[in-house]
Structure 1
Amino acid sequence: MEEIWEYTLFRLVLEQMREGIILSDADGVITFVNDAAERIRNIKREDVLGRSMVLCHKESSKDKVVRALDYLKAKPGGTFRRMVTDSANDKYYENIYAPVFDEAGVLQGIAVVSRDITEARKAEEAKAMNLRAQEVAMDTLREQYHNIVMTSMEMLINFLEARDPYTIGHSKRVASMASKLYEHKCGMNERYLDLQWAAKLHDIGKISIPDQIISKPGKLTPEEYTAVKQHSSIAADILRPLDPGARITPVIRYHHERFDGKGYPEGLAGTDIPVGSRVIAIADTYDAMRSSRPYRTAMSFDQCIEEIRVNSGRQFDPEWVEAFLDLAQTGSVD
């Protein structure tokens, strides 16, 4: 009788919690969904109860969900967080995934706790924008001018990428991934927006590189490669007059530096390289590998992840590689 009472109590507690609660068995089959989970995630419990967590996601997300579940099953006591952007409903929610093991260390199920963070997220974005505006300390007219010019630069990037069908959308993808990686490790502080702009504009210096080099299907000559290597410095020179406080230009100038000091343009090493540059280096390289080029096809997800892992401490900052692999292993990287 006492066990029945405890079971009823536990179920009532879970049902009445403000956080969304979804429980599955060890095979990932959903066994419980409370009212808050329905509301926060815009689902109906009758549509998901008895179904695999994997099958409840759209086709493009299934591989990431499988990776996330495998990650949980292999780490007793481990948890991870993942922010979800629900564009259709203009909301954000955070999922916390936790495996449930018995005293013998045998997996019994998986718990997913969901919190609606829409208001908190929008407040953080507003705070980051306000902090950035205060640090720049320019008057309203100059701020408007700055935004107009930056937006124009972003449009120019789109034009540049259109010259080469293999790079269309590259800067947007790099910006999205770099922002996600930075937020995962550092949160949304005053540097977050600087990183976004730097990532969007990191290749603007290629405006000075001839089309025949940009679109060349074969290996570049030493002279051509030297010309291409100048693009990061040229980009910084273009943007310097528009960057009060030098918050963006150093990040762009040094995004091709290597952690071991063998990069360009100045051969900086380790933490002498700006944080934003180290973040963009990973996102830029990953997107380049995942995209097809005239001289090779796109690399697989596993090949790209292994390449990033192998170059930890050489090309990339090990701390940021660890954060990137954490996102990749939990299904947050395509």
Structure 2
Amino acid sequence: MKKKKIRKSYTELKRTLSFERDILQNLLDNIPDAIYFKDNKNRLVRINKYYADGFKLSPEDIIGKTDFDFFQKDQAQSMFDDDTYVLKTGKPIIGKIERTLLPNGTHVCVTTTKIPIKNKKNRVIGTMGVTRDITAYDKTERTNLDMIINSLKVLDKILETKDPYTFGHTRRVSIIAEKIAKELSWEKNRILELKISAELHDIGKILIPLEILNKPGKLSELEYKMVQEHVQQSYDMLKPYSFPSKLPEAIYQHHERLDGKGYPRGLLEDKILPEAKILAICDVLESMISHRPYRQALGMDATLQELRDNTGNKYDKNIVDVVLRIINENNNKPFWLNSEPSLQPS
């Protein structure tokens, strides 16, 4: 009698577990996102229908395999590294945006969240991932970005007809800034913000009379102060609009120096944004080797000497080192003069 009860309880338990498993799988299969579970070796142990359909495979053909079986090596390695991070730290990765190449050769933009799975002893034994296709949203955002970029290009052309010295300068500063940021391995959206900051960093000069900007002789003290005010004017023009928060601030700081002797606020090194430190060096680099109405070009040697002599007190050492290396690799030539600027994310 006791054995029958045990057998009956076991059968009911199996039925209950099977029912709950089916309910869970049905729930997962009706979610329009790719959902997947991995063990502590980053092998797939459970997936939903959306995930399997994406590969046009059955779940049986996927379970037990890893991302290296489905994606290009570098892409699979990035996924593997993320899974390993979650396993080792127990911390989630939330909303990571990635561009993924599918086995069928199409690119999609996705956002991925990965969380740790823990046992009763609170030890991480695997991961769960949710990946959502945001390609349509991404295309809309890119279209909007293209419109903004094209508007900036039109503005740039208009301003250049008024003052070719200033607005040709900003375009070249943007090229230099992009090169430095790439060498520093900055994320592409941050590089894009920096490039736009460079394009707009002297926008306030449109409020300064041309006879002062292009004066062939030395500026009076009053005229020099008027020129310095372009920093505040640039900031005031951009701040009311929904630019990324660092963009107007980086422009506001691009004449600050590490020793606090810059303007307009006399900020010290730890208060100056990395973006502004890059803009400061790019601004000096491009200005000194270029001809201006009030002086001849000073040349590359004098420009590099200015950076070397003032590394650590005016200019950030790490950025100066990057600049010196880039220019050395280009045979001490101003590489930006032969480059076409692009505001597209790269």
For Structure 1 versus Structure 2, the TM-score category normalised by the shorter chain is: 0.5 to 0.7
1:190 aligns with 189
CA contact (8 A) 1:254 1:277 kept: yes
Aligned to 2:213: 214
Measure the CA separation in 2 of the matches of 1:163 and 1:267.
31
Larger radius of gyration: 2
How big is the shift at 1:278? 0.5
1:275 alignment counterpart:
274
Give the SS at the match of 1:294: coil
Moved more, 240-249 or 193-202: 240-249
Conservation of the 8 A alpha-carbon contact between 1:257 and 1:273 = yes
Partner letter of residue 193 of structure 1? Answer: L
Establish whether residue 199 from structure 1 lines up as the match of residue 233 from structure 2: no
Q: Kindly indicate whether residue 270 of structure 2 is the aligned counterpart of residue 263 of structure 1.
A: no
Amino acid at match of 1:218: G
Q: CA deviation at 1:306?
A: 1.1
The verdict on how the C-alpha distance between 1:287 and 1:245 changes in structure 2, with shifts beyond 3 A counting, is closer
Q: Secondary structure at the residue paired with 1:186?
A: coil
TM-superposed deviation, 1:190 = 3.1
2-structure distance, mates of 1:189, 1:204: 24
1:141 and 1:233, CA in 2 relative to 1: closer, same or farther beyond 3 A? farther
- Cα separation, 2, equivalents of 1:278 and 1:262: 14
Q: CA deviation at 1:210?
A: 1.0
Deviations 1:150-189 (A, max 9, x none): 5434433333333334345211110000110111013344
2:253 corresponds to: 254
Sequence identity of aligned pairs in percent? Answer: 36
For residues 145 and 239 of structure 2, the distance between their equivalents in structure 1, rounded to whole angstroms, comes to 12
How far residue 139 of structure 1 moved from its aligned partner, in angstroms, is: 10
Moved more, 166-175 or 215-224: 166-175
Classify 1:274/1:151 alpha carbon distance in 2 versus 1 (closer, same or farther; 3 Å): farther
What amino acid sits opposite 2:313 in the alignment?
R
Q: How does 1:219-234 map to 2 (within 5 A)?
A: 219-234=218-233
CA distance in 2, matches of 1:177, 1:200: 11
Gaps of 5+ in 1: 1-118, 121-125, 128-137
Q: Report whether the alignment pairs 1:296 with 2:298.
A: no
> How does the TM-score come out when normalised to structure 2?
0.52
Q: CA, structure 1 residues 239+143, in 2 after alignment: closer, same or farther (shift >3 Å)?
A: farther
Letter in 1 for 2:189: E
* Root mean square deviation, CA, Å: 2.9
Check whether the contact 1:146–1:242 (CA below 8 A) recurs between aligned residues: no
In structure 1, C-alpha distance between the alignment counterparts of 2:222 and 2:149, rounded to whole Å: 31
Instruction: Report the equivalent of 1:170.
Output: 169
Structure 2 distance, partners of 1:285, 1:299, is 11
Contact 2:216–2:295 (Cα < 8 Å) also in 1:
no
User: Residue type matched to 1:303 in 2?
Assistant: A
What amino acid sits opposite 1:194 in the alignment? E
- 2:43 alignment partner in structure 1: none
Residues 277 and 300 (structure 1), Cα distance of their counterparts in 2 relative to 1, 3 Å cut: same
Map of 1:1-334 to 2, 5 A cutoff?
A: 148-149=147-148, 151-167=150-166, 169-331=168-330, 334=334
Q: 1:255-274 CA distances to partner (integer Å, 9 max, x unpaired)?
A: 11111111111111113111
**CA shift digits 1:236-272 (9 cap, x unpaired):** 2212233344131111111111111111111111131
Residues 166, 291 of structure 1: 8 Å contact kept: no
* Residue 165 to residue 263, structure 1, CA distance change in 2 (3 Å): same
Question: Per the alignment, do residues 314 and 192 of structure 1 end up closer, same or farther by CA in structure 2, a change over 3 Å counting?
Answer: same
Q: Hey, what's the Cα distance between the residues in 1 that align with 2:141 and 2:229?
A: 30
TM-score, scaled to structure 1: 0.54
Q: Is the 8 A contact 2:257 2:268 kept in 1?
A: yes
SS in 2 for 1:226: helix
Letter in 2 for 1:199: A
Cα 1:222–1:294 change in 2 (3 A) is: same
Match of 1:54 in 2: none
8 Å CA contact 1:233–1:265 kept in 2: the answer is: yes
Alignment CA distance shift 1:158-1:169 (3 Å): same
Partner of 1:41: none
Q: Any stretches of 5+ residues in structure 2 without a counterpart?
A: 1-99, 102-107, 110-136, 335-346
Higher relative contact order (CA 8 A, sep 6+): 1
